[in-house]
Amino acid sequence: MSKKIFAINAGSSSLKFQLLSMPDESLLVKGIFEKIGLKEGIFKIEFEGQKEKELLAIPSHQFAVDYLLNFLLERKLIASLDEIDGVGHRVAHGGESFDDSALIDEQVLSIIEKLSFLAPSHNPVNLVGIRAFQKALPETGQVAVFDTAFHQSLSEAYYLYPLSWDYYHKYGLRKYGFHGTSHKYIAQKVKEIWEGQGEAAEHLKIINCHLGNGASICAIKNGQSVNTSMGFTPLAGLMMGSRSGDIDPMILPFLLEQENLSAQQLSDVLNKESGLLAISQLSNDLRDVLEACDRGDEKAHLALNMFVNRIAQTIASYITDLDGLDALVFTAGIGENSAVIRSLVVQKLNCLGLSLNQAANEQGQLFIQNSQSQAKILILPTNEELMIAQDTMRLLEFK
């Protein structure tokens, strides 16, 4: 029997939503509320092949949730609120408390709130979204799906920083990793593909490249995260659209002193004014950088080279962590859509036995390795919302 499951992602001034029919995984409705809290907000929704957009005041997340549910009823997309069988919520940080998604009760809400010091821009807002749906749908089961949960399988050798134990015990200062829902989804899809082709899938060694404006790479073995490029925060690891990624940590106190920056100003420099944007002096959007490269822009070309280098270096190091490789996967906005990035990254990995079928790469086929490649290379669309819906179904124990 099909169930209707919401997948929700609440931001500080936004609320993204998808309504899926499970377990057949069909998308019924999707959309977003933007500019929540401002006088002129935006409501976008897609359903039954239609797209609609409204400008309206959206004073709160609660207003957005109530407006959405009334819209679904008025358009007869649902007959009653009783048709909503579950709501899954993306929650940024589960700390060390959650190694899986969790049924939401008062204890879970309390832990999410206590963990807000680790994700002050995200967890409190995620809680707002959860409480808004609890108020609107008090009898409907709710599930928290944590960005960090998939990476709780990392061993101490990979999650600890070489700092005093005091900082770990006092503040939970360690690598947590993010994009876990996407990495978990891709790990499952690769396993399904291998099994569908009659190949052994129990001990797969996968490196998943989630490349978008925010980007991370994950080494996965036996379906578990072994290492990942983001760390205590999503700033760590790869160079990204406007994030610096890893830099010499002594740059931070140097800039604080030399530029007389506050901690918040320094955070803004690293998160909002760095990466592709800083080096290209043009844009945080890779598409703009690639267009500028075609025009011969030297700074754009430098930004591209730096971006590719960081990705290739991380993949190479993760092959050692996995002691080999079965599948290299490209996913998310850049990973799925940029044949140029995939080609440049794999070119740098030719020395490790990875090589592309350029035609398959340009066509965006599932498998893009050539016959000489020592591991398979795939393009796989990620689907975090579907992963949220799957976890919600699993935890609500629908039969």
Report DSSP letters for 337-353, one per residue.
Answer: H-HHHHHHHHHHTGGGT
pLDDT of residue 12: 84
Q: What is the number of alpha carbons within 13 Å of residue 307 lying toward its C-beta?
A: 36
pLDDT for the residue 267? 94
Residue 58, SS3? coil
Spatial contact of 56 and 43, defined as CB atoms under 8 Å apart: yes
Residue 198 backbone phi and psi in degrees, to 5? 75, 20
Q: What is the pTM of this model?
A: 0.93
User: Is 129 annotated for ligand binding?
Assistant: no
Q: Is 361 annotated as a binding residue?
A: no
Q: Is residue 96 part of an annotated ligand binding site?
A: no
Q: What pLDDT is stored for residue 201 in this prediction?
A: 84
The answer to whether 266 is annotated as binding is no
The reply, when asked if residue 34 is annotated as ligand binding, is no
Q: Tell me, yes or no, if the two domains 3-146 and 199-379 fold the same way.
A: yes
Q: What are phi and psi of 161, to 5 degrees?
A: -100, 150
**Whose CA is closest to 346, among 206, 209, 220?**
209
Nearest to 310 by CA among 244, 375, 359: 244
Residue spans per domain, the chain = 3-146, 199-379
Q: Where do runs of H (alpha helix) occur along 149-250? A: 156-159, 165-171, 180-196
Task: Compute the distance between CA of residue 21 and CA of residue 94 in angstroms, rounded to an integer.
Answer: 27
Ordered strands of the 3-10 beta sheet = 50-56, 41-47, 26-34, 14-22, 3-10, 84-91, 141-146, 102-103
93 is in an annotated binding site: no
Which H or E run includes 67?
Answer: helix 61-74
**Beta bridge partners of residue 141, listed in sequence order:** 86
Q: Which amino acid is at 206?
A: I
Q: How far apart are CA 226 and CA 156, in angstroms?
A: 11
Q: Is 15 annotated as a binding residue?
A: no
CA dihedral 55, 60, 62, 68 (to 10 degrees): 10
Query: What CATH code is assigned to 199-379?
Result: 3.30.420.40
Is 237 part of any known ligand binding site? no
Question: Is the preceding omega at residue 23 within 30 degrees of 0, hence cis?
Answer: yes
Q: Is 384 annotated as a binding residue?
A: yes
- The catalytic residues are 147
pLDDT for the residue numbered 398: 66
214 marked as part of a ligand binding site: yes
CB atoms inside a 10 Å sphere around CB 359: 10
90 phi and psi angles, rounded to 5 deg: -70, 125
CA separation, residue 249 to residues 104, 215, 246 (Å): 38, 20, 8
CATH topology of domain 3-146: Nucleotidyltransferase; domain 5 (3.30.420)
Could you report the average pLDDT of every consecutive run of 10 residues in the chain (399 residues)?
93 93 95 92 95 95 95 95 96 96 97 94 92 95 97 98 97 96 97 93 95 96 97 96 96 96 95 97 96 97 98 98 98 97 98 98 98 98 96 85
Indicate left, alpha or beta for 73 from its phi (over 0: left) and psi (-120 to 50: alpha): alpha
Cα 200-182-315 angle, rounded to 5 deg: 70
Collapse the DSSP code of 295 into the 3-class scheme (helix H, G, I; strand E, B; otherwise coil) and give the result. Answer: coil
16 labeled part of a ligand binding site: yes
Distance (Å, whole) CA 270 – CA 289: 19
3-class secondary structure per residue, 204-229: CEEEEEEECCCEEEEEEECCEEEEEC
How many residues appear in the chain? 399
